[in-house]
Structure 1
Amino acid sequence: MSAKWIFFAALAFTSPALAQGYAGLGDDAGGFERVVPGKPLVFPQDFGAHPKFRTEWWYVTANLTDETGASYGVQWTLFRQASAPGEERQGWANQNVWMGHAAVTSASEHLFAETFARGGVGQAGVTAQPFRAWIDDWNFSAQDNAPPDSGLSRVKLSASGENFRYAFDLVADGPLVRQGDNGFSLKSDDGRASYYFSQPFYKIAGVLTLRGKEIKLSGRAWMDREWSTQYLAASQKGWDWFSLHFSGGEKLMLFRMRDTSGRDFRSGTWISADGATQKLDRDDIALTPLEQTPVAGRSVPTRWRLQVKSRGLDVETAPLNAASFMATSFPYWEGPIAFHGSQQGKGYLEMTGY
């Protein structure tokens, strides 16, 4: 789920003070369309943008290894935020602002980049068929040889920043996954929600250029796709989100929305190796911080115990690099993790609002 719901700094001149929740995402959003249960996801349309909603993102994380077995992580994200509801305006009158985040993580360093674009002028955007999401020269799009109706099954991914650039090919070997109740994902007890689906079954391979050195990498990637209008309750100040790839082929998504009342909202999805899903409710999930790390002047829980009672899961996570901090316009921690216990594997952790 991730730092997905960010109020862009570029919108500060059009937005009120960010008073509620992480990055103001508890603020009222009158005039935008609301997320409601029972509305089916439709493809390929839902690969594209949803301008009637206030915010959305296209989000990829990847756990990778080089030819020596050393581990790396890669992140690619495109966010859209609307400053006002209504039909999309043309040119510089367009009310959408786009933001991109890219990051590369190794055991010894974490590099990231951030870029902004205004909607309506071709600098950033998303098309559903053939699929393409871009900002400047960063791209997440259908592979050149992919059939026009292949959607997100064969895609390429590229981005660059200071001292890094990467280009990867991704091929799905499993189905899309609808999170929550058939794509309706609750985030609070009072009904805040998003539409949310994932592609957690990507195989990924390509080249990372890190400080001038080319490194061939391969591994597993996870794509999240989410959109909403009012995402947080006013008392929710941030979240902790996990995506896990098990060595046996299963997947797991878990999140905790931290609430100042002390009653955190927890949810998740168990994904079998064949793509079958089980929705996980609050009482089935335990997320326990084990170790705090001082990062960027704050204390962040970088080691966790994760439990899913219905599946007999009990694992402990460890970060590849505890300093995987995104010092972007609205800062957050995000990086690759490994886990061991009743099962083992790799994944990603994102934490906001600390």
Structure 2
Amino acid sequence: MRKSTPRAPHYWSLAVCLLLTLVLSSCAFPGLTTTDATLPQVSQQPEKTDLPPIHFPQDEGTHNNLTEWWYYTGHMQATDASGKQRTYGFELVFFQALRSNLPAVHPAHFAITDISRDEFHYDQRSTTAFNAPKPDGKSTQGVNIQVGDWSAQGLNGKDHLQASMQNYAINLNLTGRKDPTLHNGNGLITYGLGGFSYYYSRTRMDVGGTLMDHNQPLKVTGTAWMDHQWGNFLTLGGSGWDWYSIQLNNNTEIMLYFIRDATGKTISTYVGYTDANAKSLVLPAQALELKTLGTWTSPKTGIRYPSGWQVSIKDPHLQATLTINPLLKDQELVVLQSTGNVYWEGAVNIKGQSNGRSVAGEGYVELTGYKKP
């Protein structure tokens, strides 16, 4: 991103410090670390609103809103030089925060779950751009965001990702296999004075490209999930959330989330289902039951997280019982230098039954707002 030269260095230094203070406060702005932190209880029907609908490809790019992010997670496989099969999970996320006339700030996180080595690695970055994003609905160039040498570029479901950290680097091409899923039916959630949020996902994207693993280039293939959310909204202070992306081998996908208030009470539940023909449905919250199977306590932070889940969905459109297990227990990100908080986001595997047939799958789970016991 091009940066303009400020006329008043001391003013810009103060402005940047103020903006980073706002962004790095997890109580004031925890939504920088999730795709779902701010979503309220949604209706089972799309809400009537005067806000414009989502348009592609214009809405793939940046917007002049308070909060925005592009979130990529996925699973990859490769064969190394010795013929050994290797498996990985990855997360790459870019955020944008706009506050008043302060410069836009762009934090980013990159993580690799090296399942074959039983290791988890991550890095974080943040940059402040002095040029404003293009106005809503004008650009047809898709997403083009860069933080240092990390980048995401994409148009019409064909995305390119690049990121690197010590011992790992990705250069990936992603291709959507389905039309985007518009959450809540129309991709728009409004909640009065609280603001509004646009939200869509590409629930199944083919992955191809190169992973550099300890200086060894590996040709990888796999499957990814992409979330894009933006709007004039802020998150609830002290809240937390659990988010699940589920990709099953019968070519269906499920997205679940639970939002908790500061007391730990669940105040919002969402169940989204995308069938094999890319038809998306919002299922009633009462159709879902979730049971935690265990816990894991971080040796770095002392935070105790749930670990392992059994999901049951009973609805005319979907009868499913699934067991979700982390591929590694420790997939915690301590990202105080970029978004000011700590969260668990990790690769999981899935087994169970869906509509009377055995299924398997993979996905990602995000856990925020948990504390030391």
Shared fold (TM-score, shorter chain, > 0.5) = yes
Decide whether aligned partners of structure 1 residues 323 and 77 sit closer, same or farther in structure 2, where only a CA change above 3 A counts: same
Instruction: Spell out the pairing of 1:185-264 with structure 2 (5 A cutoff).
Output: 185=189, 194-234=197-237, 237-259=239-261, 260=263, 262-264=265-267
CA distance in 1, matches of 2:229, 2:109: 16
After superposition, the Cα gap between the structure-2 partners of 1:166 and 1:232, relative to the gap in structure 1 and judged at 3 Å, is same
Q: Paired residue for 1:268?
A: 271
The equivalent residue for 2:112 is 104
User: CA-to-partner distance for each residue in 1:167-200, whole Å, 9 max, x for gaps?
Assistant: 11111221111011310247x8997752100111
The answer as to 2:313 corresponding to 1:308 is yes
SS at match of 2:278: coil
Residue of structure 1 equivalent to 2:293: 290
Are the aligned partners of 2:23 and 2:29 in contact in 1 as well (CA < 8 Å)?
no
Structure 2 CA distance, aligned partners of 1:321 and 1:153? 30
**Secondary structure at the counterpart of residue 300 of structure 1:** strand
Question: How much has 1:262 moved relative to structure 2?
Answer: 2.4
Does the C-alpha gap of structure 1 residues 119 and 177 become closer, same or farther in structure 2, counting only changes over 3 Å?
same
CA distance in 2, matches of 1:75, 1:218: 15
Task: Please state how far the C-alpha of 1:18 moved relative to its aligned partner.
Answer: 5.4
Per the TM alignment, residue 314 of structure 1 is displaced from its structure 2 partner at its CA by: 1.0
Distance (Å, rounded) in 2 between the aligned partners of 1:101 and 1:15: 14
Cα distance in 2 for partners of 1:47, 1:292 equals 37
Equivalent residues of 2:62, 2:143 under 8 A apart: no
Q: Scaled by the length of structure 2, what TM-score is found?
A: 0.77
Aligned to 1:80: 96
Classify 1:247/1:190 alpha carbon distance in 2 versus 1 (closer, same or farther; 3 Å): farther
- How far is 1:287 from its partner? 2.6
Contact 2:198–2:231 under 8 Å retained in 1: yes
> Counterpart amino acid of 2:282?
K
Partner of 1:180, secondary structure, is: coil
Q: 2:156 is paired with a residue of what secondary structure? A: coil
8 Å CA contact 2:112–2:122 kept in 1: the answer is yes
Structure-1 residue corresponding to 2:367: 351
Q: Is residue 2:125 matched to residue 1:120?
A: no
Q: Any idea what SS the aligned residue of 1:264 has?
A: strand
Quote how far apart the aligned CAs of 1:261 are: 6.3
Q: C-alpha offsets along residues 111-135 of structure 1, whole Å, 9 cap, x if unaligned?
A: 1111111122599xx9751542222
Kept in 1: contact 2:31–2:234 (CA 8 A): no
C-alpha distance in 2 between matches for 1:12 and 1:163: 29
Q: Does the alignment pair 1:323 with 2:330?
A: yes
Show structure 2 runs of 5+ residues with no match. Answer: 1-15, 39-46, 354-358
Task: Name the counterpart of 2:4.
Answer: none
Q: In 1, Cα distance between the equivalents of 2:85 and 2:59?
A: 37
Higher alpha-carbon Rg: 2
Q: Which moved more, 1:108-117 or 1:225-234?
A: 225-234
Any unmatched runs of 5+ in structure 1?
1-7, 27-34, 87-93, 143-150
Aligned to 1:174: 178
Give the deviation of 1:165 after TM superposition.
0.8
* Aligned twin of 1:339: 350
Partner amino acid for 2:58?
Q
Distance in 2, matches of 1:60 and 1:136, equals 18
Q: 1:272 to 1:15 in 2, by over 3 A?
A: closer
Post-superposition Cα deviations, 1:309-330, rounded to whole Å, max 9, x if no partner, equal 1111111111111101111122
Amino acid at match of 1:277: S
Q: Return closer, same or farther for 1:103/1:114 CA change in 2, 3 Å cut-off.
A: same
Q: Displacement of 1:161 after TM fit?
A: 1.1
Give the TM-score, by structure 1 length.
Answer: 0.81
CA shift for structure 1 position 15: 6.8
- Cα deviation, 1:119-175, whole Å, max 9, x if unaligned, reads 22599xx97515422222212114xxxxxxxx2322211101122111111112211
| 1:98 to partner: Cα distance | 0.6
Give 1:347 deviation, angstroms: 0.6
1:11 corresponds to 2:19: yes
User: 2:225 is paired with a residue of what secondary structure?
Assistant: strand
Q: Aligned-pair RMSD on alpha carbons?
A: 3.0
Residues matched between the structures, number: 318
SS in 2 for 1:283: helix
- Displacement of 1:37 in angstroms is 4.0
